[in-house]
Amino acid sequence: YVSKEDLGRATWLLLHSIASQYPDEPTEREKRDAKNLINAMATLYPCKECQTHFKTVIERNPPEVDSSVSFQEWMCKVHNAVNEKLGKELFDCAKIDERWGGVECF
């Protein structure tokens, strides 16, 4: 059994890690892949309620994939939109690098 909370924490770990390692000057291919990854969440994420809400979030805030900083900030913004829906405290996006910038696998 996988809880909505464990699934969410694992997914945010992956998404913020990808954003933190995203290139400063992405290729067209990388930009397309980043957009596809996000858009896929609205159709494939294995929690229906989450899919439905996230779809409206990304319709209002299309993925910003032109640079690492813009993708990281965008990720923080949409994670906060989910936090807001769930009545959680909003995360200070100035701390994004401190929280997720150390993610790199060797």
Residues of the shown chain interacting with ligand FAD in the complex, contacts defined by CB under 6 A = 4-5, 8-9, 11-12, 16, 41, 45, 49-50, 53-54, 76, 79-80, 82-83, 86, 88, 91, 96, 99
Q: Is 34 exposed, middle or buried (0-12, 13-18, 19+ CB in 10 A)?
A: buried
How far apart, in whole angstroms, are the C-alpha atoms of residue 54 and residue 41? 8
Which 8-state DSSP code applies to residue 95? G
Question: In angstroms, what is the minimal distance from the CB of 75 to ligand FAD?
Answer: 6
Q: Which is nearer to ligand FAD, 28 or 94 (CB)?
A: 94
Residue nearest ligand FAD, CB atom distance: 8
